[in-house]
Chain A
Amino acid sequence: MTTLEKLKEILSECKGEDLDITPETTFDELEFDSLDKVDIVMQIEEAYDISLGDNMQLSTVGELIAKIDEAVANK
């Protein structure tokens, strides 16, 4: 499963509906609030056994994928 596919799964579960996302999709478009973002980060951290920190400023899905891939590579 690619990072994008895993992220689609996590974001869809959090939103409670099937989301169609691409690396260009912005988080503003997805209308996640601060609580959703914390939940998403925690799920990613658990899924990949990585730490992303609390203060991530990300605007697109692609940026988040890059962060995850970087954290996984540095494990």
Chain B
Amino acid sequence: MEKRVALITGAGRGIGAKIALTLAQDNTDIAVVDYSDEEAAKETLDALAQAGAVARYYKCDVSDFAGTKAVVDQIVKDFGKIDILVNNAGVTADKLIMRMEEADWDRVLRINLKGCFNMIKHVTPYMMRKRYGRIVSISSVVGLMGNAGQANYSASKAGIIGLTKSVAKEFGSRGITANAVAPGFIKTAMTDALTEEQKQAMYKLIPLGSLGETEDIAQAVKFLVSDCARYITGEVLRVDGGMCM
């Protein structure tokens, strides 16, 4: 089977790196797009190479319209095509609305939501001509249920859902599917820092009674870009242990 090519934003580390590694182990070459320096993504690039993938690093600010076009064009030049786009790059700037500055709002929306638009805008012409494409954007359960202190982040993640459904409708006739994954509480360095009491309070909200792992998100993405999900588009797949039913 012909190797596929995936462009993954924010793939230098964390959930993005896990998604990259999971797809690399599934016969996929990876274009790692990240804002940080290549050195910070070295571990990820080494792991991808060990998994047998051709992996290249592209430094890019996803909120930069012209910059994303240049990177997408370069990736197509280097790899010959883009079969899969995973919009994972995102930031937070958590504050209550009373304290939230205009810049906090703008920055989070620009990177989290406009970043997805930029990538989709520049990748879809190539996918259209191939009559094939798989787009998965990482949303969040807070995009479905809201969260005090995260008005900007929640709005950006809800925006991703509307964007995903529109993309699914516009490009469905070209064999392109677009779906979103909405993670719940995922085990990260941030959740590791919580007290036991805070963790217990969190577990009470989750029917499955534990935090998710980055692996859980990566497997959901792997499913949505696989042939098993060829008839699924415009869907939001919650990976949250049942928290947001």
Contacts and interface: CB of A to CB of B under 8 A. Distances in A.
B129 A13 contact: yes
Nearest to B130: A16
A35 B174 contact: yes
Interface size, B (range): under 10
A31 interface: no
Given A39-B125, A42-B125, A16 B131 contact: yes
Interface in B120-174: 125, 128-129, 131, 170-171, 173-174
B125 A33 contact: no
B173 A35 contact: yes
A71 interface: no
A33 B131 CA distance: 14
Contacts, number: 14
Interface string B73-107: 00000000000000000000000000000000000
A42 B125 CA distance: 10
B129 A14 contact: yes
Interface string A14-42: 10100000000000000001010001001
B173 A16 contact: no
Nearest to A46: B125
B51 to A, nearest CB: 32
Interface in B148-206: 170-171, 173-174
Contacts of B174: 35
A20 to B, nearest CB: 19
Contact of A16 (B125, B129, B170, B171): B129
Nearest to B128: A39
A33 B128 CA distance: 13
14 contacts: A13-B129, A14-B129, A16-B129, A16-B131, A33-B173, A35-B128, A35-B170, A35-B171, A35-B173, A35-B174, A39-B125, A39-B128, A39-B129, A42-B125
Interface of B: 125, 128-129, 131, 170-171, 173-174
Given A35-B128, A42-B125, 12 more contacts: A13-B129, A14-B129, A16-B129, A16-B131, A33-B173, A35-B170, A35-B171, A35-B173, A35-B174, A39-B125, A39-B128, A39-B129
